[in-house]
Chain A
């Protein structure tokens, strides 16, 4: 967030110029106050505060003044000077710098390596200019590469050895140093080598080209690794920078003014205005206006959502059509986007159980390779053909260079990073790597019915009257409906709500007297001086309501369709019948089908009676139904399925069914509004699209497949190529691995692991 200019000595002063963000400034007076405070701080030469960027650029003598003192001065004025630079920004800057330096080193080492190779490779050296064949010139060319381009290997090796640890750099430093020191020895003391019966050829090309190729591999690896964390950066980049807040102002005729403030200054209950095409700054509830909102970037839901007064809006989503004002309900780290980022970061910091073997191997790997290098040298020197010393030397270098612990270290985390990031982009939030690993084994998915498979809001699907009702009872249909809705208004039961919302807006509202609700049966009362009863068949019998033959017939039909019935009686006669059903979500059928296509058994769990549950099951394509299960029994039902040897995922809303979600091997909470941090859930699906359940399981399968491929590659590579470098193929096939080829293989190995993980990005959800 802040730029540091290189400090320069000026009349024995250390003048430094730095830029710091200031929190809380929003007017010219704030600028004046903060500037004055900064200028009055001892050691400060100049200070300029910019209102538009809300940043202060301060020039100060770093011998007399520290950033902490500047922060203290600002704090006294009631504002805050931010000293902390965002970790992600530093990372990006450092990565860019690292890549630039690497590029220069790669070009220099490969160019010089090629020149030395031309002047020293048998068969090729005859075509080179004579000066390139001069060993001293080769030494002169190789030395800066060894100690400048290869400096990082030494820088990492020396402190590591001090800690009695070793890594990849140790191996490269050892391998190239052996080649370089031997070559320098040959250059200065050729006679000593010749007296030992060894051809006095140096191997500067090996040292230089190996460094060049390994750095080239590291360059590509660093570039590819940036790609593994793009999802999280993309999510972070979604957050808008400012919000247009309506603030009270006595000076204005309207009583309030619109001001743009930085996003981190938005407070709960602030009223924010959003215009078409703008990003919604934080989470909140619409208080005025309506619009269509594109939420795809946060929830993965591709169709824009229509929102009106009272609806929740999510920060960082895009307002498409209308202008509206809303009240902020969640700000800062509590917003949905911030929670998503936190969840993804946590998942990427977790470790998958599959990684355990790689962990154990990598902790012994480098020392074992060094031991194998000693063994190689000894065996080749003692048993190898002539010139045994050169064979021993080159094979030892090849062993040190070809070993690639990086590939093992990168195999799992890179795939986890890409997999969880890919999920987050589509509203699939995976709690940790372990959940991802278990999810790929799921073979049974249990859906909670109400609110998960269905909308959770029962609706009247059928409303039938007795034949010739107007003629026989002298009551018209609208009047009957008005009587029923007037009575139902007094009840909070979800079935009553369904009847009330079915009654059209023109339904008359009558006063209700003697209202009485009988739990589990129905309600009764006097409406417009008539005795009205709404409820079950049994309730009608209790209230001595005369049955109607044709409505009874309809009742059978509706029950067989899985609908709940509400009989309506007026003045002792059953005059109408309502069929009520909780409607399925649009994506329910496709969601279930997608799971079945993956070979997963789908189960529905519900408190409904068997007949109703089965009817819904038929509609949605689920055969195994667990009906009449009370909420506190759901957990036991999940455990019962697990005893059949099944790996169970339970899908629910994460609130009412938290125990069942926790009991399942994988708990999937879905469509949870803006609250995504659900403890009981291993996977949270931000949107309400049931197809994402299958996508989440499929994504876990694909990620695990990538991890397995990576591990097989990383282990296989080392298990096969280290013995080859040691010369295992020499006795039978006379095949040896040149150190240069070893460095090509090594560089390719870790890049292929990262590249394979990046292929996951192509997976379509």
Chain B
């Protein structure tokens, strides 16, 4: 790890960090505050006999009466993984490709520092930024909940968040790999997005659903059934690590 490179990367990513943390934290903090309003709205729909109430299963409303379930369904089940993917792409796409396209990589690599060290320091900086966004915003849920009459099952929500983070880190690794191979940050981000979209298509069909990242990113199996999908998560983690190591190998051999 090169501290000089780490400081530089964190400085360059500070606006992304602020934007990501800000957006996610506002969304996260609003969830406990909107709970009562949402619950009342759903009950009203059900009792009105409105056409809309036919599409709102009574069981779901029952489940939403559980505050922890509500938070998980809105946070891990929606906002965190959707925006998390966007911020994973934003964090990874410019790390190598940004410096390659601006040619500052030559200035950096002319310093007496190994390419491996540069790569893993950059990777660590991006991962740290992503983790800070997720952890700060998730912590905001717990903080705001303290000002409501409800209580959260902290362990369940944090474990589900850990599963989401694991999946987001593999998305980040994929983006970093693309950023190493493709010299333009926008194209690198686009390439990673294409792979992620392809993975979402797998999730549309029952036969291929288990091969999609989106089958696991919400932590639904754990949260709903209580079973951590160990093997799929191991495969996702290994894939992320393989992409990271492949990126490092490409970076070490690449001409700049």
Q: Do A and B bind each other?
A: no
